[in-house]
Amino acid sequence: MRWKSLIALAAAAAVLVAAEPALAYPGPGVVTGSINVHDPGIVKKPDGTYLIAHTGDNIPLKTSADRTAFRDAGVVFPGGASWTTAYTGGSANLWAPDLSYRNGRYYLYYSASTFGSNRSAIFLATSTTGASGSWTNQGLVIESRTSDNFNAIDPNLYVDPSGRWWMSFGSFWSGIKQVQLNPSTGKRLDSTIRSLAGRGGGAIEAPYLFRHGSYYYLFVSFDLCCRGASSTYRIMVGRSTSPTGPFADRNGTAMTSGGGTEILAGQGSVHGPGGQSVFTDVDADVLVYHYYADNGAARLGINLIAYDSAGWPYVY
């Protein structure tokens, strides 16, 4: 009878284990220290350390020597950014900074707006060190007005193999847009605005363009951000053989028609991952994003990216 009881207990335990839903995605990698971030932009510096800029008052900065332990490193604009207040309603809160290092300078594109409004603007600042207080305001890159069908937030700079500079941006309204920039100024080269992705006015934002192999991958965030543990953000991707598109998902659906292949979504105590950046490090391509903990706090998420036999990215 004792053996029968043990067998019965084992069977019951197996049923309980089977009833637990399998996690669709790996959890975020281990990070420590100052990890309260939202919309992280990241760059690996020439000395091998990492610099993050993220949404917050005057754009907070964080640094890390090992991509694991992070510490606060001041803000981009210690004296404030008075040139942005016409778009922020006087708030010091600036959004979704995009960081890159080119030709001996750091480039920081960032947005100024208020929640739910498309009276928005994207600005550029540059620095030779990336340190707090070292940044020079280079002025307005693009703005949107309430009469426009796009929203000038969530910028991302991509420089293609031919040396052309492209800035993708956008949120809700008619979706993700792209303009070409002048490499000598970091400002717009012409008046053309391209459409890269959209959901018929629905929730899509935070574009990030990244090249791997022969494809250009457009990472975006679908659904709703900024609701703490109730956020439904998830990271989607499509690809193209050109940095200007057209982009399509794994099923061939155009991203301008709502297409997107999911690569990361909320599960367990990880809520609403999104606001992503992607870069290549010595060990792998790296996905950097924010998510919300059960208590609603925004946290830094980092995972590595691999590619399946068809060339589609997945996180691990």
- In tens, the pLDDT along 106-135 reads 999 999 999 999 999 999 999 999 999 999
| Full-model pTM | 0.92
Q: Mean pLDDT throughout 292-310? A: 98
* Paired tokens of 153: 């937030």
* Paired tokens of 222: 């679908």
- In tens, the pLDDT along 52-72 reads 999 999 999 999 999 999 999
Listed residue (140, 32, 166, 2) closest to 84, CA to CA: 140
Is residue 14 classed as helix, strand or coil in its secondary structure? helix
Name all domains of the chain by residue range, CATH numbers in brackets. 34-315 (2.115.10.20)
- In tens, the pLDDT along 205-240 reads 999 999 999 999 999 999 999 999 999 999 999 999
Q: What percent of the chain has pLDDT over 70?
A: 93
Contact (Cβ atoms closer than 8 angstroms) between residue 88 and residue 121: no
Q: Grade residue 9 by pLDDT with cuts at 50, 70 and 90.
A: very low
Q: Which residues are catalytic?
A: 39, 205
